[in-house]
Amino acid sequence: MKKLRPNAILFDMDGVLVDSLDAWWKALNRALKEYDYKEITREEFIKKYWGHDLFDNLKTMDAPLELGLFCNSIYEEYVEDVKIYPETKNVLQKLSMYKKCVITNTPRDSALRILDRFDIRRFFGFVLTSDDVSRSKPDPELVLKSCELLKVHPRNALLVGDTASDVKAGWKAGCKVVGICVDADIRIEKLPDVLEVVEL
């Protein structure tokens, strides 16, 4: 395969750079309990809700907007459960010649706290979160706004994500997408495989 030379690389955060699945599952269950909704198993969370916009998930559950706002407000209490993937820093270091941006549906305060906790914010020119746009992924707004900030055309940007929501957002914006364990333009099995996809 011919290696790609994008003008910028956009990274989803959760499930790509860090493992935050348990933190989100715990926060959502606490919010469900608070609003007298049935809690969900970890397996159900992974299968039905992980990687989708929180407020889209609430519509599926027929739950009120306030439940989602409460979940976002308490999520920060669970960021200690977030773990960095062991290879993340090394991969970002090796991609230092590329302009990079984080695009995440996670609220800004929590996202920055996670990136700072693991000392990886320094690898990115910008961090864009659900607080910076009116519509989260799978809407392309986060992708388009990041390309605007990085001064690159979406067709010259590469998005690295791990969910169908990331892939849809990238495709709608006109980006090429690398999917980690998810079908995309290029499918890889783990983050370090991205080093085989782009020129170094």
Each residue of 45-54: b (16+ CB within 10 Å) or e?
beeebbbbbb
CATH superfamily of 8-19+83-196: HAD superfamily/HAD-like (3.40.50.1000)
Q: What is the pLDDT of residues 101-126, one digit of tens each?
A: 999 999 999 999 999 999 999 999 99
Structure letter (DSSP) for residue 11: E
Q: What is the pLDDT of residues 142-157, one digit of tens each?
A: 999 999 999 999 999 9
Packing angle, helices 164-173 and 141-150, rounded to 10? 60
Q: What is the pTM of this model?
A: 0.91
